Structure 1
Amino acid sequence: MNSKKIIEQIAHACDDKQAKDIAALDMQEVSLVADYFLICHGNNERQVQAIARAIKETMEEMDMTIKRMEGFEQARWILVDLDDVVCHVFHKDERLYYNLERLWGDAERINLPIESAGNDHEL
């Protein structure tokens, strides 16, 4: 399965857990770290963990392996490394502070096939 399809599946999993302001960035031209970043946030630690868990379960259902997951216990910024796709699941406060979308402003934003993508501006 290609990276673009993976990011769409992950976006649906995040949306199912009511992740806020789901954004996908095409990193291929701006970074060697990954092909795509998926960025979203939850309003509290439990929701952040639930979103990360949903990503993990979705990947397992697709017989894909998560390379690494960091920050789960603190649930302030959970990084889920899927090799070509890296998911950043933030607590709302950390997302505002780190502002990865601005940091990686040269990356093209990808339209996601979910209703809530990019529509939450409560930050």
Structure 2
Amino acid sequence: MDSKILAELAANACDDKRAEDIVLLDMKNVSLIADYFLICEGSNERQVQAIARAVKEKAEEQEIDVKRLEGFDQARWILVDLGDVVCHVFHKEERNYYNLERLWGDAPIVELSMHQQEG
């Protein structure tokens, strides 16, 4: 699967669980770690876990191998490694502290075309 399509799939999984402030960074010319970093936040530990679980399940439905899932038990910063796409699901308080968007400030932000939720 194309890494941009995978990033959109993961972003929609985050959106389905009402993740806030979803940002996609294009890392291709900035880092060798991944093509994209998807960053979002949840307002409490249970929501953070639900978001990460949704990303994992969506990837597995598409037969994408989840390379690593770290931080799930603490649910302050869960990293879901999908290979070319790394999803960072933060607790709202932790996101401001780590501020990955500033750390990787030279990575362009990609416009996301999220499907709209009903209701």
Report the TM-score range of the alignment, normalised by the length of the smaller protein: over 0.9
Partner residue, 2:113:
113
Q: Give the TM-score of the pair, scaled to structure 2.
A: 0.95
1:13 paired residue number? 13
Identity of aligned residues (%): 68
Question: What SS does the corresponding residue of 2:69 show, helix, strand or coil?
Answer: strand
Q: Distance in 2 between matches of 1:52 and 1:72?
A: 8
How many aligned positions are there?
116
**In the TM superposition, what are the counterparts of 1:38-53 in structure 2 within 5 Å?**
38-53=38-53
Instruction: State the Cα deviation string for residues 35-69 of structure 1 (Å, max 9, x = none).
Output: 10000000000000000000011011101110000
Unaligned runs of 5+ in 2: none
The 8 Å contact of residues 24 and 112 in structure 2, kept in 1 or not, is answered as yes
1:19 partner letter: A
TM-score (norm 1): 0.92
User: CA offset at residue 115 of structure 1?
Assistant: 6.7
The answer on 1:73 being equivalent to 2:73 is yes
Secondary structure of the 1:79 match is strand
Q: CA RMSD in A?
A: 1.1
Change (3 A) 1:30 1:91: same
Give 4+ residue runs of structure 1 displaced > 3 Å after superposition: none
Gaps of 5+ in 1: 117-123
Return the offset for 1:78.
Answer: 0.2
